[in-house]
Structure 1
Amino acid sequence: MERLKKIGVASAFLYAKHERNTLGKKRLCFYTNDMGNYLTRENVMPVLIPDLNEKALYNFITEMDGLLFQGGVDLAPETYNEKPINSDKWPGDPIRDLYELRVMEYAIKMEKPIMCICRGHQLMNVFFGGNLYQDLPTQLGNDVIHQDPEIYDNINHEISIVPGTFFEAIHTNDPCRLVNSIHHQAIKDLGKDLEVLASSPGDGIVEAIHWTGTEPGKVMGVQWHPEYFPSSTTPLISKDIIYDHFLSFC
């Protein structure tokens, strides 16, 4: 029987909200059911990582075969040493930022494989010293629409994969270059030792990266949400190729 691989998923947070009938006074850690379905395979089990004390968190991550950082609320501008352009509208989540940066620090030190999605992709850039566009329409314009709350995960655009990269090689048999887009923030200045793997040709937004300090793709981020692909009304780039590549290191 093949060994069970445990993929630790850094938590998203819901904070205490008295209007919420169930557990309204408690902070919740979670991932979406879409994420659970995406990550689970016959020999792969996703494991939610709670916000624990440092020693417990370190020991928890030690037992994981790989780490995944998921999407969610914005990063706080203060996390990457910038002032908010609109603190009322886009304050971010500094508590989650600190928790996830700690998880990523431990995972990098332990040389764990890491896959980052949407917010996680942006977090990875910030971890390595990069920064973000706080709001694409405000700071860059609307040449490409990256977010539409009305149709949510059914907004799509093409990506351009950088020639000669491992990312091009693993997508050789997949001609599709269409991804979903559910974000208003994005990578601005690239972090140290990161390499761009794909971008949006309409505006140059970075859509995929990896860390060059280890094997190609062992620590990787994508701006799109592959876990949402099953609900798409349009054929999209393979959701499995990047996950298979990540699992090959686990």
Structure 2
Amino acid sequence: MPESVRLKIGLSACFSYADPQRHLFTGKTLQYIEQSIAHWIMSAGALVVVIPCPTGETARGDVTLKHYARWLDGVVLHGGSDVWPGHYGEVALAPEWEGDRVRDLYDLAVIEAFEQAGKPVFGVCRGLQIINVAFGGTLYQDIESQLAGAQRHRDPLEYDRHVHDIRIEPRTRLARLYPGRVQATVNSIHHQGIKTLAPGFAVEAWSMPDQVPEAIRRTARHGRGYIAATQWHPEFRTRADVTLDDAPILHDFLDACERARHHRWPGSSPLHIRDRASRLLRQALLRRF
């Protein structure tokens, strides 16, 4: 397939901040991706473009996230650090749950840019959590300690081999992607999760038996642009013989990206003021340096 017709999919960056003790790239900020998720998107023939944060101490030129949102066909927000509780109106209950405020603002600005451009957004793990926060939802800072009867959602030793069951909500888009499936097994690599669902979204799958949202999607009456997310990592296929087939989810997102090439429904900022997230990101990074 010629590159001119291939979908161009943006992938959000992870951050590793300047560390004078690091032997390689000493004192430099790194923006990076985990390769499995890039290879997952590429498995369907799409081109993957990492979206670097355009603001920071070394920033030059006039490139913005809006330029990426207008040029690319969609974006995937992938996993990583915790979300700062302050972004959903809470104080961190433990120092290790402070999260990454700068990456939060970057992700919020990415969501904002692609939503305003009418381009599809798909979130994985942290991506689901920051989408929920962006549109007004809240999170459990730590599921096991805050939700009575919760099962273990993260096992540091098992990591992507740790699994649990989910229940797929009938009559949802996810149910249509997996006809006849009511229950499935997915990997589980998180300790934070949705507590209060964002307005305008519907839960498409729940963890069993503790009922934590595992897949969400924006409802049509709250915006025609595609926004969906899974709490599990569809790109991790360590136990492919056990876990839910990832292909229908990927193709559903890419089909939406193909449709958006011809019919876009630009939205508004999830933070209610146009470009607010982008301005907050710029201000935070200016204060940081």
Q: Does 1:246 align with 2:246?
A: no
- Cα RMSD (Å) of the superposition? 1.8
Q: Does 1:127 align with 2:155?
A: no
- The letter for the 1-side match of 2:134 is F
- Which residue is equivalent to 2:25? 23
* Cα drift, residue 18 of structure 1: 2.4
* Corresponding letter in the other structure for 1:63: W
Q: 1:109 to 1:137 in 2, by over 3 A?
A: same
Q: Which has the larger radius of gyration?
A: 2
Structure 1 pair 85–170 and aligned structure 2 pair: CA distance change class (3 A): same
Distance change >3 Å, CA 150–CA 42, structure 1 → 2: closer
Q: Is the 8 A contact 2:215 2:230 kept in 1?
A: yes
User: Cα distance, 1:174 vs. partner?
Assistant: 6.0
For the 8 Å contact 1:154–1:233, the answer to whether it is kept is: no
| Aligned position for 1:14 | 16
- Counterpart CA distance in 2 for 1:39 and 1:55 is 25
Letter in 2 for 1:9: L
1:75 maps to which of 64, 83, 86: 83
In 2 relative to 1, CA 116–147 (structure 1 residues): closer, same or farther, beyond 3 Å?
same
* Pairwise CA distance, 1:226: 1.0
Measure the CA separation in 1 of the matches of 2:20 and 2:224.
47
In structure 1, distance between residues paired with 2:87 and 2:26:
27
1:154-209: per-residue Cα shift (whole Å, max 9, x none)?
01001000011111011116676100000000000010101000001211100000
1:31 partner letter: I
Unmatched tracts of structure 2, length 5 or more: 56-61, 258-289
| Aligned mate of 1:211, from 218, 231, 241 | 218
Per the alignment, residue 200 of structure 2 pairs with 193
- State the partner residue of 1:178: 185
Q: Does 1:227 align with 2:235?
A: yes
Per the TM alignment, residue 143 of structure 1 is displaced from its structure 2 partner at its CA by 3.3
Match of 2:104 in 1: 97
3-state SS in 2 of match to 1:164 = coil
State the TM-score, normalized to the length of structure 1. Answer: 0.93
Equivalent residue for 1:110, pick from 117, 138, 147 = 117
Distance 1:233 1:8 in 2: 25
Q: Secondary structure at the match of 1:242?
A: helix
**How far off its partner does 1:234 sit?**
4.7
SS of the aligned residue for 1:220 comes to strand
Residues 70, 116 of structure 1: 8 Å contact kept:
yes
Instruction: Give the TM-score, by structure 2 length.
Output: 0.81
The amino acid across from 2:248 in the alignment is I
Counting matched residue pairs gives 247
Q: CA deviation at 1:249?
A: 1.1
Are residues 82 and 172 of structure 1, via their aligned partners in 2, closer, same or farther at CA, if it must alter by over 3 Å?
same
Q: 1:115 to 1:233 in 2, by over 3 A?
A: closer
Answer yes or no: is the 8 Å Cα contact 1:6–1:66 preserved in 2: yes
* Contact kept? 1:136, 1:142, Cα under 8 Å: no
Q: Which moved more, 1:170-179 or 1:202-211?
A: 170-179
- Return 5+ residue gaps in structure 1 as ranges: none
Contact 1:194-1:210 within 8 A present in 2 as well: yes
Q: Distance in 1 between matches of 2:178 and 2:241?
A: 18
Q: Is the 8 A contact 1:68 1:114 kept in 2?
A: yes
Q: Residues 62 and 172 from structure 1, CA distance in 2 versus in 1: closer, same or farther, beyond 3 angstroms?
A: same
